[in-house]
Amino acid sequence: MTAPLIGVTTSVTVGKYPERAYVNAAYLDAVQQAGGVPVLLAPQLGAAARAALLARIDGVLLTGGGDVDPARFGEPRHPAVSEVSPARDALEIELTHWALANGRPLLAICRGLQVLNVALGGSLHQDIPSDLPPALDHSQQALQQARRDQAVHHVKVLEGSRLARMLGALDVDVNSFHHQALKALGRGLTPVAWSPDGIVEGAEMSDGGRFVVGVEWHPEELVGHDPAARNLFAALVDEARKRGRR
């Protein structure tokens, strides 16, 4: 059986020389462990290269990284916003629309969920400590708990949601490396998971026929010991394999 190809977006250096495209190896490991073949999609790829890859890709993984440009949702930039890459924003928003138009399964992680929301017309809290001061601290670095495979808070998942079925659980303990969060929900997105402070930690397309799911935590770092995290990547790869047969 042919392993499905999963397009994995990359981070990019901003304002540094030499310019680089890169991705944490944990994403690649998680996709391969689930039976998929990761294919890197970097903003530096030209139109012809992108088209050639998209013709072959069976699923999409939007990864974490720097902040989305607030101009994308009509707001001035907060001082805490950093590592903005217009080229990365453009590629990932284009890729989101491509996946939706072509029926490819899409899993969005951390920044990826934020990109998905903005691509569908939603907005973001640009800085959780400033916008939502009673909220939990969602940055493990700030908590001095920088191990990426360590869970630091709880998430409640909506019963009956696709995300709940993917995880195989309604309650999960997660890691946390974000300072932004969903504000106004994009068209067709439904919130389906929340941290104890009420921040949206997961969302999916309300059209149940589409495999479009995002989470704010980093399950790729948890697959070594967390069955729910492994289940997320297995679900993406399984759905991509089905698409590849059509």
What's the CA gap between 81 and 232, in Å, rounded? Answer: 29
Tell me how crowded residue 33 is: count the other CB atoms within 10 A of its CB.
15
Task: Evaluate whether 30 touches 23 at the Cβ level (below 8 Å).
Answer: no
Distance CA 144, CA 142 (A): 5
d(Cα 106, Cα 234) in Å, to the nearest integer? Answer: 13
How does 201-212 read in b/e, with b if 16+ C-beta sit within 10 Å?
A: bbbbbeeeebbb
What is the C-alpha separation between 41 and 22, in angstroms, rounded?
10
Phi, then psi, of 66 in degrees rounded to 5: -65, 175
Q: pLDDT category, 116, cuts 50, 70, 90?
A: very high
Residue 99 pLDDT more than 60?
yes
pLDDT at 115: 98
What is the average per-residue pLDDT within 183-201? 96
> Active-site positions?
110, 218, 220
CA distances from 193 to 7, 20, 27, 165 (A): 25, 34, 22, 12
pLDDT at 142: 56
- pLDDT tier, 246 (very low <50, low <70, confident <90, very high otherwise): low
Confidence of residue 117 (pLDDT cuts 50, 70, 90): very high
CATH classification (class only), 5-245 = alpha beta
Going by C-beta distance under 8 Å and a sequence separation of 6 or more, which residues neighbour residue 79?
none
212-217-221 Cα angle (round to 5)? 105
Residue 135 pLDDT: 74
Q: What is the pLDDT of residues 57-91, one digit of tens each?
A: 999 999 999 999 999 999 999 999 999 999 999 99
pLDDT at 140 over 80: no
Task: Say what the pLDDT of residue 139 is.
Answer: 76
Average pLDDT of the chain to the nearest whole number: 94
Q: What's the whole-number mean pLDDT along residues 139-161?
A: 81
Is the pLDDT at 41 greater than 90? The verdict is: yes
The model's confidence at residue 48, banded by pLDDT at 50, 70 and 90, is very high
Find tokens 């920088």 and name the residue. Answer: 146
Which among 67, 71, 163, 155 is positioned nearest to 111, based on CA atoms?
A: 67
